[in-house]
Amino acid sequence: MKEKKSEKLILSVGSALFYLLLWHIISVIVGKELLIPSPAKVISTLISLAGTKAFYADTFVSVARVISGLVIALIFGIGAAILTSCSKTLKALFYPLVSTVRATPVASFIILTLLWIKTTYVPVFISFLMVMPVVWSNISQGIETADKKLLQAADVFKFSLSKKIKYIYFPNCVPFFKNSASSGIGLAWKAGIAAEVICSPNSAIGSRLYDSKIYLETPELFAWTTTVVVLSILIEKLTVLILNKAFKDY
């Protein structure tokens, strides 16, 4: 087991070093920091940004918006899944709405939402909107795939609804919930940052990305992009860890 972990770590580090080297070579070939800054320049810029209070303020606000959107999507998605599983009419009404959300480009929703919602809340709403269909479909599947024989046995022994939920539906839905939350956080993060880039709220990573592009601060643009990638990986790993700890018995 330890050998496999060591091998995986070596491969991961080796892969990262390979792409850093490739990036450096391309930067040298291009020879223009405005187009492709070197890894060393980006890292020094990132360190410089990390030494400012604004960096942490922007990062905290962006993460808070994305997490808020995810939590709302989980609550609403679970509620919608329960309701649509109980009623075929509600499911027939809800399904076209979810299909429309899935098919419509994120940028279109962001622009439309800007007409209706205050700029500060647009990333939260977009994160929610992109994740909610994922949660709904996963939880609906969890409810619908509950063991029919167990449900029949529960009816024979006259289990109450609460007992059916606790001993049959809940355990069956846990894997689907974990899947929707772990995949949803990445989706929420991408959608939330995209919304920030377009609507440019006062404090946000997306706003800093947009400013870097406008003022042609390419090293800063790369530094903020690196921050987005690193945070995305860390938040996803943390989410999976929390879920595994919270549902270790399932």
Closest CA to 199 of 101, 113, 106: 113
Angle between helices 88-103 and 122-144 (to 10 degrees): 130
In angstroms, the CA 62 to CA 191 distance is: 11
In angstroms, the CA 84 to CA 107 distance is: 28
In angstroms, the CA 181 to CA 187 distance is: 10
Angle between helices 106-116 and 170-199 (to 10 degrees): 70
pTM of the model: 0.89
**Contact yes or no for 210/183 (Cβ under 8 A):** no
Q: Can you spell out the DSSP letters for 197-210?
A: HHH--SS-HHHHHH
- In this predicted structure, what is the pLDDT of residue 99? 87
In 104-199, alpha helices (H): 106-116, 122-144, 148-156, 161-164, 170-199
- In this predicted structure, what is the pLDDT of residue 159? 87
In angstroms, the CA 4 to CA 1 distance is: 5
- In this predicted structure, what is the pLDDT of residue 55? 94
In angstroms, the CA 29 to CA 26 distance is: 5
Closest CA to 229 of 198, 200, 205, 245: 205
Residue 245, SS3?
Answer: helix
- In this predicted structure, what is the pLDDT of residue 2? 59
pLDDT digits (tens), the chain, 250 positions: 556 677 777 888 888 889 889 998 999 998 888 889 989 999 999 999 999 999 999 999 999 999 999 999 999 999 999 999 988 888 888 888 888 888 888 888 999 998 888 999 999 999 999 999 999 999 999 999 988 888 888 888 888 889 999 899 999 999 999 999 988 998 999 999 999 999 988 889 999 999 998 988 999 999 999 999 999 989 989 998 998 898 887 7
**Contact yes or no for 172/142 (Cβ under 8 A):** yes
- In this predicted structure, what is the pLDDT of residue 3? 62
In angstroms, the CA 183 to CA 134 distance is: 8
Q: Tell the residue number behind the tokens 């029949």, with chain if given.
A: 152
Closest CA to 139 of 65, 60, 77: 77
Domains of the chain, CATH where assigned: 37-246 (1.10.3720.10)
- In this predicted structure, what is the pLDDT of residue 33? 83
CA 40 centroid distance within chain: 29
